[in-house]
């Protein structure tokens, strides 16, 4: 524990700005992964343990696209869409057969793919750490904000994620697609009896969740180094975010992700050896006070 | 409302695991008819409906809609072929508003025909209009029953399956549902309803089929039920 360092930081505006902006981008990336996870769980009832690997694939897809095209925007699209397509194929071939199976069977399928995809990444991209570096578009001087400095890419990442969160919430709450998705979450069979192709709907939801994870990977690529194990650690953090926010709640995932991001950012100064522990402690605290998570509702 | 319609069940068997529920059930329904499938609890009414709706696959026999086999199709394909299903336990989407429950079910009929829309539904079901913003889970049983009938109509079906629409409702509500079904019958909607309530069936049905222990024991016109009093007593009396 290093309380003096933490006190030093919170009394300096530049350190606060740096840590808050770092916390925000951690939170934004976590939100993108966790919202897909929570969406898939909320509708399909499947915990997609492979979700972290989708994030990893998004990062590597975008790395390759960036090296080929030199355009970071192409890289983001390649990461997001590439993983979305992969997710749909994965759902149709491997997840749809286990919808009605025991959760252990679902876990087994997902865990197998965590290992398979890690190996695929090792074969295709190698075992070494890889970096994309800051794309030329964002290689600009940092922005001066509240007495601190924020890299322009952080602003872009945060803005894009907030826009994505808003769009996702409109999609789920206001559109016909969203109404069908929420109806499928409650009673898939009845929805099917009303003429809705629920297999297609499930594949679309899984694809959307995968797209979000792929986008997160692509957005993380300029600020994170890539390695074949990167999927697993974000999976655990995303679970924590999902549990804190409330299983199935997108707005809950957003607030939980920001809180976890901030806790990590300041925790790394005050409690550098206990950052993960702080997240778990926060999760335990939330569960003690509200067992369904911040925005979770009691299951009927 | 549309072209000639005929639903035909030919000798269907249905089993759940090791226990067989239906034994060679054959039923024919012509366009515009209202057929009541009568029987005690456990006689096989709901299973017959679930087989027609595609929720359970017959192990033998065929289900034909306008001479095309529909058994083995997914429920959504059967719905799109023109069969609307109103399950016994209603199954509203509880957190969606009344209007969203209706909107979710909106689709053109099997021949792309669109007769039912929100406006027509609200004309026939004025009660639903007044509660259209309310969450469906907070409606009374009778209101939910109206909602699920209306929801089935929103898919512009050629035939609707109603599983025990009068069950658990107050007598005044049962009368209201009966009046509604008569009105739908006048409009030419083909209806198959599962019932235990003989009086209700005599009010609304044109044809009656009695099922007992998974087998059809009587087929007749509803007006002849008095004549079949002995049979109805044997198979329906508790």
C-alpha–C-alpha distance, residues A107 and A41, integer Å: 13
SS3 state at A73:
helix
Confidence of residue B1 (pLDDT cuts 50, 70, 90): very low
Nearest by Cα to A43 from A195, A155, A174, A204: A204
Nearest by Cα to A21 from A296, A223, A204, A198: A223
Q: Across the interface, do A193 and B107 touch by the CB < 8 Å criterion?
A: no
**pLDDT, mean of residues A63-71:** 94
Joined together, the tokens standing for residue B42 give 């456990």
pLDDT tens column, A162-190: 999 999 999 998 999 999 999 999 999 99
Q: Across the interface, do A176 and B91 touch by the CB < 8 Å criterion?
A: no
What pLDDT was estimated at residue A276? 87
In angstroms, the separation between the Cα of residue B43 and the nearest Cα of chain A is 23
Option in B54, B95, B105 nearest A194 (CB): B105
Alpha-carbon separation of residue B56 from B38, B49, B82, B93, B191 (angstroms): 20, 9, 18, 22, 20
Joined together, the tokens standing for residue A73 give 């925007």
pLDDT tens column, B92-104: 999 999 999 999 9
Rounded mean pLDDT of chain B? 90
Q: Which residue has the higher pLDDT, B30 or A58?
A: A58
Confidence of residue A300 (pLDDT cuts 50, 70, 90): very low
In angstroms, the separation between the Cα of residue B155 and the nearest Cα of chain A is 7
Using the predicted structure, report yes or no on whether residue B15 has a pLDDT greater than 70.
yes
Q: Which long-range contacts (CB under 8 A, 24 or more apart) does A3-11 make?
A: A3/A270, A5/A269, A5/A270, A6/A266, A6/A269, A6/A270, A9/A266, A9/A269, A9/A270, A10/A266
Spatial CB neighbours of A46, under 8 Å, sequence gap ≥ 6: A40, A95, A98, A99, A106
Using the predicted structure, report yes or no on whether residue B197 has a pLDDT greater than 60.
yes
Alpha-carbon separation of residue B180 from A279, B82, B139 (angstroms): 58, 20, 18
Question: Which range among A57-61, A239-243, B167-171 shows the weakest confidence by mean pLDDT?
Answer: B167-171
Count the Cβ atoms, other than its own, within 10 Å of residue B25.
25
Rounded mean pLDDT of chain A? 92
Confidence of residue A194 (pLDDT cuts 50, 70, 90): very high
What pLDDT was estimated at residue B238? 54
Tell me how many degrees the CA angle B134-B138-B142 measures, rounded to the nearest 5.
100
pLDDT tens column, A89-122: 999 999 999 988 888 999 999 999 999 999 999 9
Structure pTM?
A: 0.89
Joined together, the tokens standing for residue B95 give 């957190």
What pLDDT was estimated at residue B146? 92
This model of the complex carries an ipTM of 0.91
In angstroms, the separation between the Cα of residue B53 and the nearest Cα of chain A is 7
**pLDDT, mean of residues A224-239:** 91
C-alpha–C-alpha distance, residues B62 and B75, integer Å: 16
pLDDT tens column, B124-165: 899 999 999 999 999 999 999 999 999 999 999 989 999 999
Domain ranges of chain A: 3-126+155-289
């Amino acid at each position: 524990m290093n309380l003096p360092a933490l006190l030093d930081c919170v009394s300096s505006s530049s350190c606060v700005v740096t840590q808050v902006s770092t916390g925000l981008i951690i939170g934004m990336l976590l939100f993108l992964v966790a919202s897909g996870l929570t969406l898939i769980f909320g509708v399909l009832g499947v915990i997609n343990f492979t979700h972290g690997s989708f994030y990893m694939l998004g990062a590597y897809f975008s790395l390759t696209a960036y090296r080929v095209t030199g355009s970071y925007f192409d890289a983001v699209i390649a990461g997001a869409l590439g993983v979305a397509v992969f997710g749909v194929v994965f759902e149709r071939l491997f997840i749809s057969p286990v919808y009605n199976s025991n959760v252990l069977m679902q876990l087994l399928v997902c865990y197998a793919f965590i290992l398979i995809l890690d190996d695929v990444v090792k074969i295709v991209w190698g075992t070494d750490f890889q970096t994309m570096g800051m794309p030329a578009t964002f290689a600009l001087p940092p922005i001066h904000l509240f007495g601190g400095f924020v890299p322009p890419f952080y602003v872009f990442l945060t803005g894009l994620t907030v826009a994505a969160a808003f769009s996702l919430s409109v999609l789920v709450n206001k559109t016909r697609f969203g109404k069908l998705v929420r109806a499928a979450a409650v009673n898939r069979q009845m929805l099917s009896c009303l003429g809705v192709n629920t297999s297609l709907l499930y594949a679309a939801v899984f694809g959307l969740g995968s797209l979000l994870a792929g986008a997160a990977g692509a957005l993380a690529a300029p600020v994170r180094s890539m390695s074949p194990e990167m999927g697993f650690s974000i999976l655990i953090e995303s679970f924590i975010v999902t549990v804190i926010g409330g299983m199935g709640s997108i707005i809950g995932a957003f607030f939980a992700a920001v809180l976890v991001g901030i806790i990590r950012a300041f925790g790394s100064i005050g409690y550098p050896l206990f950052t993960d522990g702080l997240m778990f402690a926060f999760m335990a605290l939330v569960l003690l006070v509200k067992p369904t998570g911040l925005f979770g509702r009691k299951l009927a | 409302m549309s072209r000639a319609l005929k639903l035909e069940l030919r000798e269907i068997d249905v089993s759940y695991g090791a226990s067989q529920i239906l034994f060679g059930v054959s039923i024919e329904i012509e366009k515009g008819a209202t057929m009541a499938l009568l029987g005690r609890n456990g006689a096989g009414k709901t299973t017959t409906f679930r087989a027609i709706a595609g929720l359970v696959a017959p192990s033998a026999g065929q289900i034909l809609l306008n001479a095309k086999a529909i058994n083995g199709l997914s429920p959504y394909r059967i719905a799109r072929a023109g069969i609307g299903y109103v399950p016994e336990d209603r199954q509203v989407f509880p957190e969606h508003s009344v209007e969203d429950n209706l909107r979710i079910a909106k689709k053109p009929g099997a021949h792309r025909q669109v007769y039912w829309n929100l406006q027509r539904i609200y004309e026939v079901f004025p009660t639903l209009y007044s509660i259209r913003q309310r969450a469906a889970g907070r409606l009374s049983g009778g209101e939910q029953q109206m909602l699920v009938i209306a929801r089935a109509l929103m898919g512009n079906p050629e035939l609707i399956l109603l599983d025990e629409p009068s069950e658990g409702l107050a007598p005044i509500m049962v009368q209201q549902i009966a009046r509604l079904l008569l009105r739908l019958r006048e409009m030419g909607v083909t209806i198959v309803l599962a019932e235990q309530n003989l009086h209700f069936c005599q009010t609304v049905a044109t044809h009656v089929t009695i099922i007992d222990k998974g087998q059809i024991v009587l087929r007749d016109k509803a007006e002849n039920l008095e004549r079949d009093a002995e049979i109805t007593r044997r198979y329906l009396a508790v």
